[in-house]
Structure 1
Amino acid sequence: MTTVAGTFRIGGDLEVGRLGFGAMHLPTGPGADRAAAIAVARLAVDLGVTLIDTAHLYGGGANEELLAEALHPYADGLLITTKVGVARSADTGEWGLDGRPEVLRDQVEQALRRLRVERIELLQLHRVDPATPLADQLGALRDLRDEGKVARIGLSEVSVDELSLARETVDIASVQNRYNLLDREHEPVLAACAAAGTAFLPWRPVAHGAAGANTVVAEVAAELGATPTQVSLAWLLGRSPVVVPIPGTADPVHLAENVAAARLNLSAPQRARLDALTA
């Protein structure tokens, strides 16, 4: 995919286009909704997306199964990245953080089966479980990497201190934190990732509703003949070369609009106006 945004090498060697796709919103039930979800996943690849994000949490693995049904055998260069570390309680049925090594290992084994792969090229810890030592959580993932079941390890929703501590146990290839034009709480984490050349995958890359209602964003969108969402994604792509947004949608029209944002050029004055925005 040739775009203004270009590509990024996760972990220094895994090349992906800099605008990915978050599969969380794809419905996984039977019938017409499932068929439509499969069509959207396939359209993402047809439009040139090379990174698709999923997780065990999304339907307890149902989202992983959907992607495999839609896309396996996977096209050359297509990365399906998944996340582990959130589990459903057998007693209450509620989801909660669970970073115990045996749980992480079981979820990885399930992901390998559901995604129909022998190795997960990028596996991310969905959240740090405060009830389990971080070294134990990452040690389990490092062991899976050493066994050849995982190639690269990432984190999600971490602080700068947690990222630094994690690096004492294992190399960190990516960080997936909430971040967008109007929500820059994790700016220090992005800076740490940029300094280390670590991929930064912002989830919720668009402040839903708020971006369209923001006067400055709307003005820039009108100037470019684009949508506020496209402006928000283009701003992210220009924020740092390590940023790989993963906007999600179940709507094929919105998907095409999102992908087109990779070809949107913001002028220096336009970017300065957007940079000045706060939540």
Structure 2
Amino acid sequence: MTATTFRIGGDLEVRRLGFGAMHLRPETAEERAACVAVARRAVELGVTLIDTAHLYGWGANEDLLAEALHPYPEGLLIATKVGIRQTTSGEGWRHAGEPADVRTQVDEALRRLRLDRIGLLQLHRLDPGVPIPDQLGGLRDLRDEGKIGHIGLSEVSVSELTAARAVVDIASVQNRYNLLDREHEPVLKACEAAGIAFLPWRPVAAGVSGARSAEIAAVAEELGATPTQVSLAWLLAHSPVILPIPGTTSPAHLEENLGADSVQLTQQQYDRLTALPTGV
């Protein structure tokens, strides 16, 4: 039986199927009301881990979650990310890993989320212009001051994870990963060996067709589930440290996603899926 909970950092127990809030970026009052309703419905359905970031609407996503869910129910963990700043030129963003900048962003996140402490604070990207000991040292100082509880990373390699862990304990890693995109399998295995939570973003491959899609659909039909549920169930079965965070703005899709932890793959079904070719 696949475990349905995980303790991030050894003490933050969450349901392994979480909710990624990235898509909750309304442009109208009507859309905002719908996004608020989806966030609230996620919690009603038992979600205890919600992932957001400063990058998602440059703080607007954090504001929306606070509007929807504050005062937060006991046991709900809202994890956010810092380390990216908006610009008016180029790609529209820049790395921001200097300790002073990270400190400012953490203070901003605390204000927007209406929190005294962020239980899990993740560095959205390592800043190539700032030494890793400086970036992680700044987060360690914020942890020691009580502004954050646990520290996570996003889009890192095994060597970067190792270098970061030499500075401070790392509780989570958030890399792109799904059934058909396993480029970061070595990072997952490193997390598994260390008991670090692995939060795959883009946990369901989009636009899949051909033989791979047919095989996923066949397993779904055998189980009376949907292909999306099968893809998420595979993640849950693949490693005990995987905490998928699928996102949506649709209440129906939300219920579909969260139904995945009741889908139990047989060993033969798991093996068939694992054998599928990966990559584009």
Tell me if both proteins adopt one fold, taking TM over 0.5 as the criterion.
yes
Kindly indicate whether the alpha-carbon contact (under 8 Å) linking 2:155 and 2:173 is maintained by their aligned counterparts in 1.
Answer: yes
> Normalised by the size of structure 1, how large is the TM-score?
0.96
Q: 1:207 — aligned with what?
A: 205
> Normalised by the size of structure 2, how large is the TM-score?
0.96
**Residue of structure 1 aligned with 2:48, choices 50, 57, 72:** 50
Q: 1:239 — aligned with what?
A: 238
**Residue of structure 1 aligned with 2:156, choices 155, 158, 165:** 158
Q: 1:6 — aligned with what?
A: 4
Q: 2:19 — aligned with what?
A: 21
Return the alpha-carbon distance in structure 2 between the equivalents of residues 252 and 230 of structure 1: 15
| CA RMSD across the alignment | 1.5
Amino acid at match of 1:269: Q
Return the alpha-carbon distance in structure 2 between the equivalents of residues 91 and 193 of structure 1: 36
SS at match of 2:118: coil
SS at match of 1:151: strand
**Mapping 1:209-224, distance limit 5 Å:** 209-210=207-208, 214-224=213-223
Amino acid at match of 1:116: R
Return the alpha-carbon distance in structure 2 between the equivalents of residues 276 and 66 of structure 1: 41
Return the alpha-carbon distance in structure 2 between the equivalents of residues 138 and 64 of structure 1: 23
**Distance apart, 1:93 and its partner CA:** 8.2
* Deviation readout 1:127-184 (Å, 9 max, x if unpaired): 1111111111111111110111001000000000000000111000000000000000
Amino acid at match of 1:218: A
Amino acid at match of 1:127: R
Kindly indicate whether the alpha-carbon contact (under 8 Å) linking 2:25 and 2:57 is maintained by their aligned counterparts in 1.
Answer: no
**Distance apart, 1:100 and its partner CA:** 1.3
Amino acid at match of 1:37: C
SS at match of 2:237: helix
**Residue of structure 1 aligned with 2:73, choices 72, 75, 86:** 75
Return the alpha-carbon distance in structure 2 between the equivalents of residues 5 and 96 of structure 1: 38
Percentage of identical aligned residues: 67
**Distance apart, 1:222 and its partner CA:** 1.1
Alignment coverage as a number of residue pairs: 277
Q: 1:267 — aligned with what?
A: 266
Return the alpha-carbon distance in structure 2 between the equivalents of residues 248 and 76 of structure 1: 22
Amino acid at match of 2:35: A
1:37 aligns with 2:35: yes
Alignment gaps of 5+ in structure 2? none
**Residue of structure 2 aligned with 1:130, choices 128, 131, 138:** 128
Distance 1:115 1:211, change over 3 A: farther
SS at match of 1:209: coil
**Mapping 1:242-253, distance limit 5 Å:** 242-253=241-252
1:99 aligns with 2:114: no
Q: 2:193 — aligned with what?
A: 195
Amino acid at match of 2:226: T
Distance 1:211 1:196, change over 3 A: farther
Return the alpha-carbon distance in structure 2 between the equivalents of residues 252 and 74 of structure 1: 20
* Deviation readout 1:185-238 (Å, 9 max, x if unpaired): 000000000000000000000001217961210110111111111000000000
Return the alpha-carbon distance in structure 1 between the equivalents of residues 92 and 84 of structure 2: 10
**Distance apart, 1:92 and its partner CA:** 6.2
Amino acid at match of 1:125: L
